[in-house]
Each structure stands twice: as C-alpha cells, then as structure tokens.
C-alpha cells in the first residue's frame, strides 16, 4: 500500500532542491519543474518504476525520458532524493564542467538521451519500447515526460501514430498540462479533453487526472501497467506548483527566483525533511539473449555488369548482418528504392517500416542506439533534411546511427529537384565527428557499409540511383578516412577529385584527355569526412591545379571540404558543382547542364592549360 505521506515529503524535498539549485545557478526553469514534481515523485518512488540505481545500464531497467528537457532541475532533484547525487553536487547546476547541464545530456549517467529541443523525446522512447518488445524481448517499460507546448510539434504525432501501429503497450507518455508556455498560454490551456480527443483518435489509451492528486496519480500508473495499448496520462498541473507567487503566473518561464525570493518560497514550503531517501524498486535481473557474431559473407559482382550503389547497400546489409547481429534496419516507406527491402525479405524480424515520417525515424533510431543496437536507416538523401534537428541532437547522445541517403544529386534525372539530394553532404558534414561516405561502385559500397557498421558514431552513406560500372576488385580494401588514386602519372597537370557519379565522368574525361597528351590524376574521394589529407596534399604539390567535381551544391560539398584541407597549399582548387536551378531531364542532360559532366571537366582542364 502506498505511503502517501512519505511521497508528499519527498515531493517537498524535491521542490526544495529545484528552487535552491536554480537560484544558485541564477537561471533555469524552476516553474516547469515544479509543475511535474508530483508526477515524477509518484512514478519513481511508489514502486511503479523499476530501476537499478546502482547500475543505470542494466538492460531491464525501466526507461525515463524528459522530452521537456528544460525541466532538468526536476530530473536532477529526483536523483538527489534517491541518494545518488548530493545537495552540494546539485548546486553545480548549469556550471561549466558539471554534468548537470541546462538541459539533460548523457554526461549525467541517469539521462537516457540528450533532450531539450522539443518534440523529440517520444520518438526516442518509442525506439526503446520497440527494442524491448520486438528485439530484446524484455519486460522493461518506457516513460516519457512531455510538455503541453511541445504537443504542437508534428514529430510528436508521427511518434504517436507509429507507437499505436506497433502496439507498444510498454510505452507510457505523461503530458504535464501546466497551461503556460514560454510566452503565454498554450494552444489548449487546461482543456484536457482536447488532448484526449486527439490522442484517443490515434489509438492510444488516454487517462485524464489531476497531476497533483497523489491518489489519482497512483491509480493512473497502476492502470497503465495493464492496458494493452500505448498509454498517455494527461495531467492537469499548475506551473510553479508549491509557491504562491509562482503558481500559474506568466512571465516566469526560464526564470529563477532571486535569493530574497527563494527565502519567501522556502518559507511557504515549510519544514523540509532532508533525511528521507526515495527508494526505487529494482527490476528483475532479466537480460536479452545475445547472438554471437560470425564472419560476413563474400562479395560477388560480375565485372561487366553495372549495379546501382543503392542496390549494393541493400545487399550489403544482408551480407554483414551475421557479423553485426545487433543491427536493426528502418526505412521511410521507400525500401524498394533504397533497396533496404532486400534486408526486409531476409530478416523481417529486424526490419521496421517507419512510413513517411523521417523525424520520428531518426528519433527512434536514437532510442535503439541508446539500447545498444546498430540502426541503419534509409530514405532519399533529400528527405533527411527535414529531420536535421533530430540528426544534430543525436550527436549529443553519442549516437551510433548509420544513415543512407539514396537518389543523390541531379543524376536521378526526370523526377526533378524535389527528389534530388543536393544539400545532404553539407548537412552531415556539419555534424560534429560525423563520417560522410560516398562510394562509386557496388564493391566500394559493400565495403563501406561494413566499415560504417564497425565504426561507433554517426555515419552518412550517400548512394546513387543510376547503375554504375564495377571498378574495384572484391579484395580491394577501403577504410574511413581514405581515398583511391585510380589514375596517376608523372606528367599529371591536374588532379580531379570526385566521388560517386562524377567519378565515372572523370574517368571518361581522362581517356579523352590522354589521347590529346594531357594527363590528369583521378582521385576517388569516397570518404568525404574525414578526408585523406596526405593524399590530397601530395596531389596538390605534384600538379598545377586541383579540380573537384560533385553532384551536389557547391556550398558545403566536396569542393569546400578539399579547399579546407588544402588552405595552406598554393595550388589552386577549382570547383565544378551544381550551381544552376535543377530541373527535370535525362541524367546526362542534367550533368551537362550543371557543368559536372565529362565534357565540362575536359573544357575546364583545357581552359587551365
């Protein structure tokens, strides 16, 4: 039977920690934390939430994600009440070098994923719940604390749809409906029925409660354990709850009480018992069954039969899966174009259709990654751009996600600019410590997909729609940070640096130029980030010019990457890239139109010499 009096004492202690730590920091979001204090106190300390506090990495721990990451003072205060951090450590909130950052990051061991950019936590939780139900087959549950303001984000509804589709009855969302956002009242204020109507229409079980009633909270969490569908607890709360001059007052979002205001607030709280500790029920010591890796299969391609690199990507997933049994493949309803359908046919239990909801797909991949899976996710390169916020936030969670963007560049042809990935290299290059790979043929694709799986971190693999010739032997070695010099001569006047589709334009140009006695070095820059700076610098020192050729906009692409590498070298670098408004047409027409074809390369070199 619940000890409500102890829970109330814990809630008061947690409010004390929230107010004291934010005042010490002179910043933070105390009112957003106070509104959800009772919600989280009951969840963690009444036996519902099962977690080994001495082992945050235990595979069967329940998971708690603060999607409303600005309530981080509450998160830290909860773990202080659990005896896992001291009051002194709490006072380092928001200070340089402290793991208690302004919004939760994985520097704090009890944070599941870095949050704070609103609308993402539910997707992350969905990935963890999916992992529990369908992959690890563990009984842990995932809880996500949501803000009412962030329910306007489309990514929330992407997640709500897919959770119902996969019948994730181990996922519980908790909306803290405190009525006030950053600049005033939220869309629906305290009208819980508006949330109920929408959420129930998506196939979830809504539970409406008073978020400060301990009996109602206890009942709602108990009910959530038995419902056979995703559950959304919709809780009416008061922003700033517990302090009269903060309660339901506009203008206090992201504002900490001053020291004299803190004194008033603590007087209202009354006597705080600092001797009590919240106890969290430990989970069963259940662990997932692990599959031992075995060697991957061999690569087989006929040297005289061109193959699209997007198809080689799908084949590679199947080939390497025995070596990486923690792989999971997600696709955004284009698996017959990205060719991840090849993996789906071979391993349907490890393939999950995300439909056309790229933001949620990336968020789910992060959730899977945080549960030690290796997600490979794919769509057209152009469509990853709409999920860039999720992509860049994943980096702050030390994500291990592999992205594959197909249909890169104008060479996709008649479909036109809406389908052309032309900003994708720049986007993924901008992510800290990311890897960007752009293979030219099927063999290099297979090798680089395997290298991506070996690498811990975020990797983008760019694939091409068109079939391309096989130019590499199956025994050729590829590594992240490398490149291949395909043509080299002591008489080289220029070096052509390219990747993907333009590699073959450069090779054709080489043959024509050679007939005229003009020699050019050809470098396949399959690893765009990190670059093989040694090979590029050697080419710059031994030729008169570098020409980069890419099926991508000039901004942020291969040209700028090479220029950054060679900024201390006097050899000029010329960039051939997509600079005109793209349009529909045959691939060869568009390569000519944009000045990145064989003829454009020849013309540029003859201009230079």
Active site residues: 358
- Cα–Cα distances in Å, from 102 out to 20, 95, 239, 513, 556? 15, 9, 19, 59, 31
Instruction: Output the CA angle 82-287-456, nearest 5 degrees.
Output: 85
* HEC per residue, 270-339: CCCCCCCCCCCECCCCCCCCCCCCCCCCCCCCCCCCCEEHHHHHHHHHHHHHHHCCCEEEEECCCHHHHC
Q: Is the peptide bond before 530 cis (omega within 30 degrees of 0)?
A: yes
For residue 173, list its beta bridge partners: 144, 232
Contact 397, 432 (CB under 8 A): no
Task: Please report which helix (H) or strand (E) contains residue 377, including its range.
Answer: strand 374-380
Q: What is the DSSP string of 181-223?
A: -SSSB-SSTT-HHHHHHHHHHTT-EEEEEETT-HHHHHHHHHH
Instruction: Output the CA angle 33-73-95, nearest 5 degrees.
Output: 145
Contact 173, 196 (CB under 8 A): no
Q: Which of 120, 181, 170, 180 is nearest to 145 (CA)?
A: 120
In whole angstroms, what is the distance from residue 369 CA to residue 349 CA? Answer: 17
Q: Which of 275, 261, 208 is nearest to 12 (CA)?
A: 275
Q: Which of 241, 219, 195, 185 is nearest to 12 (CA)?
A: 241
- Cα–Cα distances in Å, from 602 out to 79, 198, 513, 552? 65, 60, 7, 19
User: Phi and psi (nearest 5°) for 326?
Assistant: -90, 5
In whole angstroms, what is the distance from residue 118 CA to residue 445 CA? Answer: 35
Contact 226, 220 (CB under 8 A): no
Per-residue tokens: 1: 């039977």
Is residue 321 helix, strand or coil?
helix
For residue 435, list its beta bridge partners: 459
In whole angstroms, what is the distance from residue 253 CA to residue 70 CA? Answer: 10
Q: Which residue, chain included where needed, has tokens 């752009």?
A: 438
Per-residue tokens: 586: 């045959």
Q: How many residues are given for the chain?
A: 609
Q: Which residue, chain included where needed, has tokens 């009096």?
A: 5
In whole angstroms, what is the distance from residue 150 CA to residue 503 CA? Answer: 45
Beta strand 142-147 with 171-177 is parallel
Count CB-CB contacts under 10 A for residue 193.
11
**Cα separation of the two ends of the chain:** 87
Contact 14, 74 (CB under 8 A): yes
């Amino acid at each position: 039977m619940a000890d409500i009096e102890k829970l109330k004492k814990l809630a008061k202690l947690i409010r004390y920690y929230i107010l004291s730590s934010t005042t010490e920091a002179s910043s933070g979001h105390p009112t957003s934390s106070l509104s959800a204090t009772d919600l989280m106190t009951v969840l963690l300390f009444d036996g519902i939430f099962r977690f080994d506090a001495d082992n945050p990495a235990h595979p069967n721990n329940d998971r708690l994600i603060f999607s409303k990451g600005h309530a981080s003072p509450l998160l830290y205060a909860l773990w202080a009440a659990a005896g896992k951090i001291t009051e002194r450590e709490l006072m380092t909130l928001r200070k340089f070098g402290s793991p208690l950052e302004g919004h939760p990051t994985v520097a704090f061991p009890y944070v599941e994923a870095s949050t704070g950019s609103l609308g993402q936590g539910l997707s992350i939780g969905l990935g963890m719940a999916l992992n529990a139900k369908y992959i690890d087959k563990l009984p842990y549950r995932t809880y996500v604390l949501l803000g009412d303001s962030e329910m306007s984000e489309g990514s929330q509804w992407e997640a709500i749809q897919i959770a119902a589709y996969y019948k994730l009855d181990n996922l519980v969302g908790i909306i803290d409906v405190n009525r006030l956002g950053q600049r005033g009242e939220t869309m629906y204020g305290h009208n819980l029925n508006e949330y109920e109507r929408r959420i129930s229409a998506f196939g979830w079980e809504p539970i409406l409660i008073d978020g400060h009633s301990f009996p109602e909270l206890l009942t709602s969490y108990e009910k959530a354990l038995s419902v056979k569908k995703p559950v959304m607890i919709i809780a009416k709360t008061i922003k700033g709850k517990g302090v009269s001059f903060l309660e339901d007052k506009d203008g206090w979002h992201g504002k900490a009480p001053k020291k004299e205001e803190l004194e008033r607030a603590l007087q209202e709280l009354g006597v705080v018992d600092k001797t009590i500790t919240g106890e969290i029920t430990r989970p069963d010591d259940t662990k997932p069954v692990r599959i031992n890796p075995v060697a991957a299969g061999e690569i087989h391609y006929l040297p005289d039969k061109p193959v699209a690199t997007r198809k080689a990507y799908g084949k590679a997933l199947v080939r390497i899966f025995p070596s990486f049994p923690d792989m999971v493949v997600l696709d955004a309803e284009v698996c017959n174009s990205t060719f991840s359908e090849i993996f789906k046919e071979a391993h349907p239990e490890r393939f999950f259709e995300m439909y056309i909801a790229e933001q949620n797909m990336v968020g789910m991949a992060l959730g899977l990654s945080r549960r030690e899976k290796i997600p490979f996710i794919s769509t057209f390169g152009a469509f990853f751009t709409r999920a860039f916020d999720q992509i860049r936030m994943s980096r702050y969670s030390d994500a291990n996600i592999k992205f594959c963007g197909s249909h890169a560049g104008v060479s996709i042809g008649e479909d036109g600019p809406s389908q052309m990935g032309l900003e994708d290299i720049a986007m993924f290059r901008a992510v800290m410590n990311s890897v960007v790979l752009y293979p030219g043929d099927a063999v290099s694709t297979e090798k680089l997909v395997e290298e991506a799986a070996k690498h811990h971190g975020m990797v983008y693999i760019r694939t091409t729609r068109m079939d391309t010739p096989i130019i590499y032997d199956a025994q050729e070695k590829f590594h992240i940070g490398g490149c291949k010099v395909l043509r080299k001569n002591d008489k080289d006047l220029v070096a052509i640096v390219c990747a993907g589709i333009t590699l073959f334009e450069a090779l054709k140009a080489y043959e024509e130029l050679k007939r005229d006695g003009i020699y050019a070095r050809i470098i396949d820059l399959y690893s765009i980030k990190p670059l093989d700076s040694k090979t590029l610098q050697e080419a710059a020192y031994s030729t008169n010019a570098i020409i980069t050729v890419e099926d991508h906009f000039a901004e942020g692409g291969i040209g700028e990457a090479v220029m950054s590498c060679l900024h201390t070298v006097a050899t000029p670098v010329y960039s051939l890239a997509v600079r005109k408004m793209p349009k529909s047409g045959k691939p060869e027409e568009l390569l000519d139109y944009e000045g990145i074809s064989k003829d454009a390369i020849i013309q540029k070199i003859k201009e230079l010499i």
